[in-house]
Amino acid sequence: MAIINGTDLKVYDSSTNILIAFAQSASITINMDTRDISNKESGGFAESLEGQRNFEVSVDGAYAWTNAAGSALTNGSDDLVLKYMLDAGSNTREAFTLRWGNTAGATGDTYYQGSAFLTSFSATGGTEDTATYSMTFTGTGAITQTVS
């Protein structure tokens, strides 16, 4: 049995193929809604058929503007907020391709990819504590799975 190391689960802005900086945890949720088809012949039990599917990706991490060498980040959480939520200049608030999983290229590596909107951002910092951020991306359209 191969157990996946949580460190290998990473979230990328695949339009630039850049890892979202300083992420410490990531999660993906894939849902399928159901539609009620209960009727008078259901014997008092709910009956369902398949419905729409959706996905959401969340990332939490250390909030920073520069890397360890002091150079400005181009993939920090604030860069994504500016580019995909605030969109300085054109205000398009566009969806982008998001990739989640292990993309190291080893045989058997799995990742998911889909178009998503950055729908939520928050930053938190306590006195003498590491500042952290949380981001949520809501999928639009299909998500695909790739196994290398």
pTM of this prediction exceeds 0.85: no
Query: What secondary structure letter does DSSP report for 30?
Result: E
In a domain, 73, yes or no: yes
| Ranges assigned E (strand) in 16-147 | 18-19, 23-36, 48-62, 96-101, 110-124, 132-147
Q: How far apart, in whole angstroms, are the C-alpha atoms of residue 144 and residue 148?
A: 13
Q: How many domains does the chain have?
A: 1
Would you say residue 40 lies in a domain? no
pLDDT the model gives residue 103? 67
> Is 14 inside any structural domain?
yes
Q: Is residue 39 part of a domain?
A: no
pLDDT for residue 1: 45
Could you list the residue range(s) of the whole structural domain that residue 108 is in? Answer: 6-33+48-147
Taking the C-alpha atoms of residue 29 and residue 97, their distance in angstroms, rounded to an integer, is 16
Residue 83 in any domain: the answer is yes
91 inside domain:
yes
- Evaluate whether 124 touches 132 at the Cβ level (below 8 Å): yes
Q: Please indicate, yes or no, if residue 38 is contained in any of the structural domains.
A: no
Enter the tokens of residue 5. 């190391």
What is the C-alpha separation between 33 and 73, in angstroms, rounded? 39
Q: Is residue 85 part of a domain?
A: yes
Q: What is the pLDDT along the chain (148 residues), one digit of tens a residue?
A: 456 677 777 888 777 777 887 888 989 899 999 999 999 999 999 999 999 999 999 999 988 877 777 777 777 788 788 878 887 666 668 888 888 887 666 677 788 899 999 999 999 999 999 999 999 999 999 999 988 7
Q: How far is CA 131 from the centre of its chain?
A: 20
pLDDT at 38: 97
In the three-class reduction of DSSP (H, G, I as helix; E, B as strand; rest coil), residue 93 is classed as coil
For residues 47 and 40, the answer to whether their CB atoms sit within 8 Å is: no
CATH of the domain at 140: 2.30.110
